[in-house]
Amino acid sequence: MRIVVLDGHTVNPGDNSWLGLEEYGEVLIYPRTQPDELLQRALFADILILNKTPLDAQVLKKLPMLKLISVMATGYNVVDVAAARTRGIPVCNVPAYGTDTVAQYVMALLLELCHHVGEHAESVARSEWVKATDWCYWKSPQIELRNLTLGIVGFGRIGRRVAELAHAFGMRILYTSRFEPEAEPFPVERVFLDDLFSRADVISLHCSLSASNIGFVNEALLRRMKPSSFLINTARGQLINEKDLAGALREGALAGAALDVLSQEPPATDNPLLDAPGCLITPHMAWASLAARRRIAETTVTNVKVFLEGHPQNVVNAHF
């Protein structure tokens, strides 16, 4: 059994472990795989493990030995799952590994928007405090979260965990969701999307990406926001019309945005959000705590193990 990891660096840049994978066959681990390297590396694989390396129908047709694809993430849009199903190849993912770490990161982004901690630390490093006339200063408004309203778009595992953390700060919680969620131990209010954008002081996106919601955060929706409000996105960059958001920030339709995801990653140099005022961007790292990456590696090994035992788990494209 040949097991090929196509892009292992992100999940394991040296601080994680593939412990146990070698028990199930010959293992080849590549840090990264470029498009012109893909076919050669995948050709004789029985099992392919990947994170962001695309596997489309044309490539899948050329892999006669392939029996399993295991995606080291919750999202699996990099794989043509329909083509894999046609071939009888199960595609597995890693659900729920990042609930706590992503929710924690959302709060980090929110607190940075409220306090600009990094900016003030840099100010002190530039000796501005040493030279200050007063015993303290602040370079941006300092915002208290208690009694502000958080609007959550998508109320799955991560959205609910964000709500729980926000409630601990004393925030009121609005949410919109396609599904009726479980009862929460604190007050939440389900509202329509337009209402959420109009009422919330902070909006955090936690919905999955689909053909129907690409760019749904557009000019019309952004204009519903309060000029004092913030937008946070740790879900998928394609949910936002980036040109519209850049324009809204320049016009003061909202006070700021914190984005861990963009429509193209890494971004093109002409992405309008890179120089938009009040826009904090981080490099798609909300998921990447060591604890979360260990869960990814452990679940991936288990995906391989139980598949070889005849009862695959976390299958996203069919029941096998």
Clarify whether 265 is annotated catalytic.
yes
Clarify whether 189 is annotated catalytic.
no
The residue annotated as part of the active site, out of 224, 284, 293, 295, is 284
Task: Please provide the DSSP assignment of 177-195 as one string.
Answer: -SS--PPPSS--EE--HHH
Total residue count of the chain as it appears in this document: 320
Q: Residues 123, 280, 197, CA angle at the centre, nearest 5°?
A: 130
The residue annotated as part of the active site, out of 236, 242, 293, 295, is 236
Q: Residues 247, 251, 255, CA angle at the centre, nearest 5°?
A: 100
Write phi, then psi, for 247 (nearest 5 degrees): -65, -40
DSSP structural state of residue 233: E
Residue with tokens 């981080």: 282
What distance in Å separates the CA atoms of residue 255 and residue 244, rounded to the nearest whole number?
14
Q: Is 257 left (phi over 0), alpha (psi -120 to 50) or beta?
A: beta
The set of long-range contacts for 143-149, using a CB threshold of 8 Å and a minimum separation of 24, is 143/113, 143/114, 143/115, 144/114, 145/110, 145/114, 145/169, 145/170, 145/171, 146/170, 146/171, 147/171, 147/172, 148/172, 148/201, 148/202, 149/173, 149/174, 149/199, 149/200, 149/201, 149/202
Q: CA nearest 149: which of 123, 181, 110?
A: 110
Clarify whether 250 is annotated catalytic.
no
Q: List CB contacts of 158: < 8 A, sequence separation 6 or more.
A: 98, 99, 102, 103, 206, 234
User: Which residues participate in catalysis according to the annotation?
Assistant: 236, 265, 284
